[in-house]
Amino acid sequence: MVHQYRTVARSATVELEVKRSVFRCDIRRITEEAQARALVEQLRSEHWDARHHCSAFIWMPDGSLARSSDDGEPSGTAGAPMLEVLRGAGLTEVAAVVTRWFGGTLLGAGGLVRAYSDAVREGLAAAGTLERELVTEQQVGLEHALAAKAESELRARGVAVLDVDYGQLATLRLGVRPDEVEQVAALLAELSHGQAELEAVGERWVDR
């Protein structure tokens, strides 16, 4: 089972011109195929005057599901090279759509591969990347006077503080790596003089 993967940090749009043809790359983070297909249709509607809307997308944390489309370009000159760039960057949960306005000069198969690949590379550079990690979701109840200090200590040690609820006790919900549960439990026990105990309540993906 995958416990960590890389995806894009933000949406991005870039344009490059090759022999008067304009290649616009839109990068988006997705979690399912339907979102990628909706993006293609949105861009096709917005940029109806463009000749091609080529795409490549990968989803699922393990990157096992992927699709690509040349959308009328010669077979293998657009979608597949775009997908190769995404895979080469080690990304999943990502969609890339390159919209092309033809400038009147044929680029040839090699020129198209380079142009579509370069557009996606520039799009990824603008989008940046982040790591996602599957953590155990733990919660702990603390006296209010200890909660702020505990939260600060936990964040300083890289523990994800997912939520804090100030009721009769302050309840901290934490995202803890499986191999760090004992260490975090010991820290909380120390801060609370042995009163606080972690309780496992599930697991979730968090951005790092």
Q: How many CA atoms lie within 13 A of 140 on its CB side?
A: 27
State the chain's mean pLDDT as an integer: 93
- Provide the whole-model pTM: 0.82
pLDDT value at residue 179: 85
d(CA 64, CA 100): 28
Higher pLDDT, residue 62 or 85:
85
Given a cut of 90, whether residue 110 has pLDDT beyond it is yes
* Domains 4-127 and 133-207 in one fold: no
Residue 193: band (very low, low, confident or very high) from pLDDT cuts 50, 70, 90: confident
pLDDT for position 80? 97
**Fold observed for domain 4-127:** Ribosomal Protein S5; domain 2 (3.30.230)
Q: What is the pLDDT of residues 28-53, one digit of tens each?
A: 999 999 999 999 999 999 999 999 99
Domain extent listing, the chain: 4-127, 133-207
What is the C-alpha end-to-end distance of the chain, expressed in Å?
A: 19
Distance CA 164, CA 160 (A): 11
What is the predicted pLDDT for the residue at 79? 97
Q: How far is CA 208 from CA 28, 91, 201, in A?
A: 18, 15, 21
Distances (CA, A) of 6 to 3, 120, 197, 206: 11, 16, 32, 11
Query: How far is residue 192's CA from residue 182's CA, in Å, rounded to a whole number?
Result: 15
- Strands 170-176 and 160-166, how do they pair? antiparallel
One-letter amino acid identity for 158?
A: G
Fold held by 133-207: Alpha-Beta Plaits (3.30.70)
Per-residue pLDDT tens over the stretch 71-91: 999 999 999 999 999 999 999
pLDDT of residue 206 exceeding 90, the answer is no
Reported as a single tens digit per residue, the pLDDT across 117-160 is: 999 999 999 999 999 998 899 999 988 888 888 888 888 888 88
